[in-house]
Chain A
């Protein structure tokens, strides 16, 4: 029994830092996806730069991050040590899921990164170019299955916009939602689906290894060092950027909010963070304060319009 208690005390002592941590970051997706990578990069850099000595990441996956968001908003109220990673996917998911908890229920701190979407097919696929894919889509929209993140997220929106630009009824697309980038990637690699859409970073190492074929990227211009046309070059007038942000808990005082914002600003300006952006292939889209809030409002309104346009939101 003595050992039993020892074990309990040991484990108890280990869990103590969980409550005394400087920051706990919620990644509202499965391990391996974009938000998870963002959260874990934040963790690494915050510790590296001495912004916080102890940072934890917790995965709360599902439904475009709305599960994590709902839990965060309810459980962390007033907790200045809690952060959640989110982004464009969450904006869409809140609308399509009619989530009772929205970004208004948390305290958005800053936009951190942007990433362009990539359209890929398995290396063994008959589809060689974006034109081939569009042709297949025109022939029978239902026969082309797309793997990507949660329903109503950036990936889903991108597929809808591609269909619309190709003159195909966007409500006919066959989109298979996965709760995180990792699971979707496995489905694409296993040729379970026709094509995959996700942030370029999630496909990069597979594209380099030649197991996935990159058909197009969704930026206004090509990504430096990446041999793939933009969607525009492929004849589809679509530009999609998946931005990611960090938010704090609801119910913070102005001082608490200012302290968190200062920490995040320090992070975004740090050399360590710039290094992470470079290695992950993320664009630096740091935007904070009122400018970010205004931009966020604009994005939410625009996203709602897009989702209605392509029939994801009635």
Chain B
């Protein structure tokens, strides 16, 4: 089969010593920028584009691939250890991962993230190689109404999955939705809730909100507790490595996360975050250890981390098959292609197979490098937790502030960071979950625009939302996710649910 020949050829090129070095530089840089909130892989690739100008196409693409995958992975490290998501796609990782780290299980959390990212990256890259043309067809079937149904599903699952109380989860979600309507409406260009403040025309930046709510809010919360707070975090309990039990609980979430993340990454209006939300919700429903969710369940780290790396590979599907860059990083990689006189598009697989396969092979190499680089580092990373609390949290504050102004150097952005930090603190004090606010801000505009587009295309006929088979299936799943727990609770079945119901009083 020619496909395999091309892939082998690509691997041979990518495995040359110089190219391996480029891959190593790429994943190291990528991991580093993934760690810093605000500075993402797109900016890094853009900065390096001129540098790689003098390299051959193979070398530079390999480096880009390394940065891209490294960036997707790097964000999870700070999420897990410091509760400070480096990228919006690693917000979900912070939920369970940070709880694990506080319980002395930071090592296994980082390991399952690293290995899960590797597994997902590997499968998704092979998916890119062999089923990209089919996946892209699926992605194109998704029109406004299907996207809207997907958003409804995401809303329902996340609002019931984050935190113990649906009411509190929904309250947080609506705070996020309210924040999401701030700014210029994309469909009509009208300014909403901007109160004449030009800075608000842009709306609220997701990473600013996430860093504020998670990092700043957390720091204020810890500081406010003073000496009364829980004792020093236990840095390491048991092994730094994953136990047999951790492996047994991780491999299925890795695979499920990959299956969820890859197609969603391939959708032009999808995005890595949505895959991580859905993966988290799925793991929470399927787990045999529901009592651990919210207290550090390894499935809640394994699934979303796999999903976000799989969606990184998914993003390349429309890029290579349609010439359609759906993320900023993909757009810059497109520029990288054009630098060598290549136009990605429907004909690229046919006209430049060496290059496409070279890229795919370099993704495989980068993925492998990432594992080689990160597994030995885990032992060092977890030592971070042994730093005395005042220093650690002062470091987090500095780090979060630097990242935010690094991404958008404006006093106004800093003001928002502090204001949302206070909001995050207040929500913690009153027991409201934080994540749904960020989820609302991400999903709100997507859901709104897609609904309005669907209704415009149908000329105001609401039935169109249910008549597409894919949309109908998604909506039925969403309805089931909403109603089934209510029925279970009403019947008093399911220990956990009734227990939760009792706790709510």
Contact = CB atoms under 8 A, between A and B. Distances in A.
Interface of A: 1, 3-4, 7-8, 10-12, 14-15, 17-19, 31-32, 36, 40, 43-44, 47, 53-57, 59-60, 62-64, 66-67, 70-71, 74-75, 93, 96-97, 99-101, 142-143, 145, 150-152, 174, 176-177, 179, 182-183, 185-187, 189-190, 192-193, 205-206, 208-209, 211
Interface residues of B, number: 70
B50 A53 contact: yes
Contact of B459 (A44, A93, A143, A211): A143
B140 A186 contact: yes
A14 B53 contact: no
B47 A176 contact: no
A67 B201 contact: yes
A182 B326 CA distance: 7
Nearest to A187: B143
A8 B184 CA distance: 34
Interface string B181-202: 0011111111100000011011
Given A1-B383, A14-B32, A190-B141, 19 more contacts: A1-B395, A4-B384, A7-B35, A31-B328, A31-B332, A32-B324, A32-B331, A44-B339, A56-B46, A60-B202, A66-B189, A100-B198, A142-B459, A151-B189, A183-B268, A186-B268, A186-B324, A192-B143, A206-B322
Interface string B242-275: 0000000000000000000000000011000000
B457 A174 contact: yes
Given A11-B35, A185-B324, A190-B141, A56 B47 contact: yes
A209 B384 contact: no
Interface stretch (B293-301, B303-311, B340-348, B420-428): B340-348
Contacts of B33: 11, 14
A176 B326 contact: no
B201 A71 contact: yes
Which 9 A-B pairs rank lowest in CB-CB distance, beginning with the nearest?
A31-B331, A97-B189, A192-B143, A205-B345, A209-B346, A190-B140, A186-B268, A63-B189, A11-B36
Given A8-B402, A70-B198, A62 B32 contact: no
A145 B457 contact: yes
A265 B456 CA distance: 44
A36 B339 CA distance: 15
Contact of B318 (A53, A186, A211): A186
Contacts of B327: 31
B55 interface: no
A47 B53 contact: yes
19 contacts: A3-B380, A4-B395, A11-B32, A12-B36, A14-B47, A15-B39, A15-B406, A18-B406, A31-B334, A44-B335, A55-B50, A150-B186, A150-B189, A174-B456, A182-B268, A183-B268, A186-B140, A186-B322, A187-B143
A205 B324 contact: no
Classify the secondary structure of A's interface with B: helix
A205 B402 contact: no
Contacts of B410: 75
A3 B381 contact: yes
Nearest to A189: B140
A209 B349 CA distance: 12
Interface string B344-371: 0111000000000000000000000000
Question: Could you say which of B324, B343, B381 has the most chain A C-beta atoms within 10 Å of its C-beta?
Answer: B324
B186 A63 contact: yes
Given A151-B188, A174-B456, A182 B47 contact: no
B439 interface: no
Interface string B206-239: 0000000000000000000000000000000000
A63 B35 contact: no
A108 B55 CA distance: 36
A182 B324 contact: yes
A176 B318 CA distance: 22
A218 to B, nearest CB: 22
Given A62-B186, A97-B190, A192-B457, A67 B343 contact: no
B142 interface: yes
A3 B268 contact: no
Contacts of B50: 47, 53-55
B429 to A, nearest CB: 29
Contacts of A4: 35, 384, 395
Question: Could you say which of B31, B47, B327, B381 has the most chain A C-beta atoms within 10 Å of its C-beta?
Answer: B47
A188 to B, nearest CB: 10
A12 B345 CA distance: 35
Contacts of A66: 184, 189, 201
Nearest to B53: A47
Interface in B444-480: 453, 456-457, 459
A254 B25 CA distance: 44
B330 interface: yes
B29 A10 contact: yes
B323 A205 contact: yes
B184 A62 contact: yes
Contacts of B32: 7, 10-11, 14
Given A36-B331, A206-B346, A8 B36 contact: yes
A149 B2 CA distance: 40
B347 A205 contact: yes
